[in-house]
């Protein structure tokens, strides 16, 4: 193994350790303060066969994930289809790079936005949260179509 490969592996391990400790630390502190769960969110711009945005929220120790075919909403009132896809491990929040040809999801992955979010409400068909990213900021809601993998990701209008 070359030193550079060892460095990459070391880096990946350190990233995982960091994300884990960071989320534990922040949650212990802030859940006590506010009673609300705080986690990481990430949006990965994925130039697969079809360009889409993978919107991921830390929940239940994994990244709950939705594929959004258009740019996620930045303006209040904008709605986007968000198709529920498989959970990803938390470490994946840092992934950027190229998934090789022949593998599932082949294509370039770039982090489009990332930050912390606060969970406001969670039920079977509705998840409300506040994002604090570079691009996505403010109150959002995910609403599930009845018994379906399809959700709507909506940026809420500011409360008066
Ligand atoms: Mn994807």
46 in a domain, yes or no?
A: yes
Q: For 22, phi and psi rounded to 5 degrees?
A: -60, -45
CA of 46 to the centre of ligand 1 (A): 5
- Rounded Cα distance, 69 and 19, in Å: 27
CA of 159 to the centre of ligand 1 (A): 32
CA of 44 to the centre of ligand 1 (A): 8
What is the reported pLDDT for 16?
A: 85
Q: Which pairs with CB-CB distance under 8 Å and at least 24 residues apart come from 31-39?
A: 34/118, 36/118, 36/119, 36/120, 37/118, 37/119, 38/116, 38/117, 38/118, 38/119, 39/116, 39/117, 39/119
User: Using an 8 Å Cβ cutoff, are 142 and 66 in contact?
Assistant: yes
CA of 121 to the centre of ligand 1 (A): 26
What is the reported pLDDT for 32?
A: 61
160 in a domain, yes or no?
A: no
CA of 130 to the centre of ligand 1 (A): 23
9 in a domain, yes or no?
A: yes
Residues of the domain holding 99? 3-155
CA of 42 to the centre of ligand 1 (A): 12
CA of 13 to the centre of ligand 1 (A): 23
What is the reported pLDDT for 24?
A: 75
* Total of domains in the chain: 1
What pTM was computed for the model? 0.79
CA of 93 to the centre of ligand 1 (A): 12
CA of 4 to the centre of ligand 1 (A): 27
Regions of the chain where pLDDT drops below 50: none
What is the reported pLDDT for 15?
A: 85
CA of 54 to the centre of ligand 1 (A): 5
Residues forming beta bridges with residue 108, ordered by sequence position: 47, 98
150 in a domain, yes or no?
A: yes
């Amino acid at each position: 193994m070359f030193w550079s490969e060892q460095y990459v592996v070391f880096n990946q391990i350190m990233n995982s350790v960091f994300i884990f400790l960071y989320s534990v630390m922040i949650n212990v502190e802030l859940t006590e303060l506010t009673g609300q769960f705080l986690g990481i969110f990430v949006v990965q711009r994925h130039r697969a066969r079809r360009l889409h945005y993978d919107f991921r929220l830390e929940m239940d120790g994994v990244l709950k994930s939705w594929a959004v075919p258009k740019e996620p909403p930045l303006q209040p009132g904008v709605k986007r289809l968000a198709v529920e896809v498989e959970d990803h491990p938390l470490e994946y929040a840092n992934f950027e790079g190229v998934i090789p040809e022949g593998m599932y999801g082949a294509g370039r992955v770039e982090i489009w936005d990332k930050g912390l979010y606060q969970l406001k409400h969670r039920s079977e068909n509705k998840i409300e949260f506040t994002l604090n990213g570079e691009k996505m900021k403010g109150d959002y809601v995910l609403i599930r179509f009845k018994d379906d993998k399809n959700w709507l990701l909506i940026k809420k209008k500011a409360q008066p």
